Structure 1
């Protein structure tokens, strides 16, 4: 199994970075995972802006040469792991810009007759690890699970990815946030996951 980790946080002295390290460590200890790639969107200086004009059209995004290496990573990966904070009830603009550009028509899905398109990323699985300052149940109780609906239903199911797991960790700026326990939970999951 090939694991692609997409890390979206600008600070390497952060809790999010500690989650990245635990994910990598767990993957390295897991005999089912043969290769790991890490894409740090901030370190990569990924440009999240959508730019369209006469020479660069939205319908051609699936073959944009500037995005080729990222498409190759997604094609290569069996498991895609996203690590990011929840800001204003949703992932950061940097990650959303990556999604806007990479999960494009004719690469991630293909329009067909009927209501839903054909998902072209079938067979892959996704894990979303997100952190937030507010309580863990805040997205569920206050935002009606908008984050999970956005990621699972509006994105991953749309492109054919049915196996999606979430780790939503709240109270991450609190001294009582049980950060170490949550880091160990993520490490254990990736050390043991088989598909």
Structure 2
């Protein structure tokens, strides 16, 4: 199994970065995982801004040569892991800008003229690891699970990825947030995962 980890946090001293390290550590101890690539969007200097004009059209985004490296990473991976904070009830703008550009028509999905498109990323799986300051159940009770619906239904299921797992950790700035326990949960998952 080949894993692509997309890390989206500007601070390498953050708890998100500690989760990234646990993904790498657990994966390194798992004989089912052949290779891990990490894409750090901030360190990469990824430009999240969409630009459309006379020479750059949305319908051509799937073949934009500036994005080829990122499309190849997605195609290479069996499992795509996203590590990011929840800010204002959703992933950071940097990650959403990446999604807007990479999960484009004719690469991630193809319109068939009906109600739903054909997902072109079938067979892959996704893990979302997110942290937030507020309580773990805040997104469920106050935001009607908007984060999970956005990621699973509006994005991953739309492009053909049906297997999506969430680690959504709340209270991460609290001294009682059980950070070490949650880090070990992620480490344990990647140490044992087989698909």
TM-score, structure 2 length as denominator? 1.00
Shift of 1:114: 1.4
Q: What is the correspondence of 1:160-175 to structure 2 with a 5 Å cutoff? A: 160-175=160-175
For residues 130 and 111 of structure 2, the distance between their equivalents in structure 1, rounded to whole angstroms, comes to 31
Quote the residue 1:18 is aligned against: 18
Matched, 1:95 2:73: no
Quote the residue 2:128 is aligned against: 128
Specify the SS of the correspondent of 2:189. Answer: helix
Q: What is the correspondence of 1:150-169 to structure 2 with a 5 Å cutoff? A: 150-169=150-169
Specify the SS of the correspondent of 1:43. Answer: helix
Matched, 1:53 2:62: no
**Residues 141-164 of structure 1, C-alpha deviations (whole Å, 9 max, x = no match):** 000000000000000000000000
Matched, 1:4 2:13: no
Quote the residue 1:183 is aligned against: 183
Count of aligned pairs: 195
Quote the residue 2:65 is aligned against: 65
For residues 113 and 54 of structure 1, the distance between their equivalents in structure 2, rounded to whole angstroms, comes to 26
TM-score, structure 1 length as denominator? 1.00
Specify the SS of the correspondent of 1:186. Answer: helix
CA root-mean-square deviation: 0.4
Specify the SS of the correspondent of 1:4. Answer: strand
**Residues 27-60 of structure 1, C-alpha deviations (whole Å, 9 max, x = no match):** 1111111011000000000000000111100000
Q: What is the correspondence of 1:132-147 to structure 2 with a 5 Å cutoff? A: 132-147=132-147
